[in-house]
Structure 1
Amino acid sequence: MNAEYCWSEIGIEGDRSCDRLESVGHCINCPVYHEAGRGLLNREIPLDYLQEWTEILAQPPEAQMGTLSTAVKQDSLKIGQGTTLSAMVFRLGSERFALPVSILQEITRPVPIHTLPHRSDDLFLGLVNIRGEILPCASLSQFIGVEMPIDPTYSRINLRRMMVIGQQESRWVFPVDEVHRVYRFHPDELQKPPVVIAKAHQSYTRGIIDWQDKKVNYLDADHLLNTLDRRLL
């Protein structure tokens, strides 16, 4: 089997028969997945791409900026034409949510949460150690107003995970009841959230996507992270 595609055949997006899943929790944490990614990054540069950048860098600095600005505008136009969005679908209680893959840094099995005196509460849970780095941990279900089931056996313990999200200096960890898979969809598929949903989740929902006959709340990652930083740090 081609290692570049094992994630979609026997991994998290396939039949999940891979014997590594039990130990790594998700393909994104697997060394085979990492090696496949490195292979893509280290592949030979296409000649037309190399020629394009050679021509750009041969221009004066002012001309370079103009050329790059035009290229960015052209790429932006393509977003509404054929580009798909990638989001990680996960579960909190009985509801499904999704966040852009671009802000997802890691998915790990639950680790101990260290509470802080006079700081930790139902929203700010405390600090966690992720691969030697201390990161803040918050309850996303409390933050966006998800009603969790009273029965603690509702969520299978072996499915629970922690998601590490953010960019650069702003990173957060939050527990989830289950991580499903990466789902790709076209921007046109994003539906407007019902008024009830928008109120319940404090307007953190950008829209609704259909996934496996279920409604998934696609969250506004930037708004979510900015508000977390303002309220809890």
Structure 2
Amino acid sequence: MKALTIRLQDELFAVEASQVREILDLVPITEVPNALPFVGGLINVRGRVVPLADLRVMFGMQRPEPDQDTRIVVMEVIIDGEPTIAGILADKVHDVTDIEAASIEEAPRVGMRWRPDFVKGIGKRNGGFIIIPDMERIFDTTDGRTPAAATTEERSSL
């Protein structure tokens, strides 16, 4: 798998390079009132309105202020069966690399600090681990909420 490696806090993530359209320096973000934290803003990409997602929200990470390394990765993701352009924040973008399929393992169900259903697999490279997020599952949420949060909220409204 050809992958773009990005850093979120102190963890290395890999997104499929074929989904990446471009990498931008931080641009002005228009916050959307009452939007959920995962996709709380919109950006202008060449005259097109693009939602900006923060994977750190879905992975329960802290959200530090952007700095000189912060980038926006504009990518195509499948939402409700349709290809959609969206941006994701990255604390740092590293490089495009090959991750051998044989080195990718399923995410363990225990001992993970993130929801395993949001992780497609764990790759190995240079003696370290690379988390491969399941972008379709992450973006396939109910109104931007994690499926578990949406179910809990629906139960509590009954």
TM-score higher than 0.5: yes
Q: Which of 27, 31, 46 pairs up with 1:115?
A: 31
Q: Which aligned runs of 4 or more in structure 1 are off by greater than 4 angstroms?
A: none
Corresponding residue SS for 2:140: helix
SS in 2 for 1:232: coil
Contact conserved, 1:127 with 1:135, CA < 8 A, in 2? yes
Q: Does the Cα contact within 8 Å between 1:198 and 1:204 map onto a contact in 2?
A: no
Q: Decide which structure has greater helix share.
A: 1
Normalization by structure 1: what TM-score?
0.54
Give the Cα separation in 2 of the matches to 1:142 and 1:231. Answer: 14
The residue type equivalent to 1:104 in the other structure is V
- Per-residue deviation at 1:94? 0.8
1:232 aligns with 2:147: no
Native 8 Å contact 2:69 2:91 kept in 1: yes
Q: State the shift of 1:197 in Å.
A: 5.6
- Tell me, which stretches of 5 or more residues in structure 1 are unaligned? 1-84
Q: Secondary structure, in 3 states, of the residue corresponding to 2:32? A: coil
Structure 1 residues 202 and 144, CA, compared in 2 at 3 Å: closer, same or farther?
Answer: farther
Partner SS for 1:218: strand
1:187 is displaced (CA, Å) by 1.1
Partner of 1:160: 70
TM-score (norm 2): 0.77
Where does 1:129-208 land on structure 2 (aligned, <5 Å)?
Answer: 129-145=44-60, 147-148=61-62, 157-167=67-77, 169-196=83-110, 200-208=114-122
Q: In structure 2, what is the Cα distance between the partners aligned to 1:116 and 1:148?
A: 20
Query: Which SS does the other structure have where 1:203 is aligned?
Result: helix
Match of 2:150 in 1: none
Q: Unmatched 5+ residue regions in structure 2?
A: 146-158
CA 1:165 to 1:100, structure 2 compared with 1: closer, same or farther past 3 Å?
same
CA RMSD of aligned residues (A): 2.4
| Residue of structure 2 equivalent to 1:65 | none
| Distance of 1:126 and 1:197 partners within structure 2 | 32
Q: In structure 1, what is the equivalent of residue 149 of structure 2? A: none
Q: Alpha-carbon deviations, 1:69-103, whole Å to 9, x = none?
A: xxxxxxxxxxxxxxxx1111100111111111111
Structure number having the greater strand percentage? 2
Partner SS state of residue 26, structure 2:
coil
Match of 1:79 in 2: none
Identity of aligned residues (%): 24
Post-superposition offset of 1:149: 7.2
Code of the aligned partner of 2:44:
N
How many residue pairs match? The answer is 141
1:87 paired to 2:6: no
Would the alpha carbon gap of residues 169 and 208 (structure 1) be closer, same or farther in structure 2, given more than 3 Å must change? closer
Between Structure 1 and Structure 2, whose CA radius of gyration is higher? Answer: 1
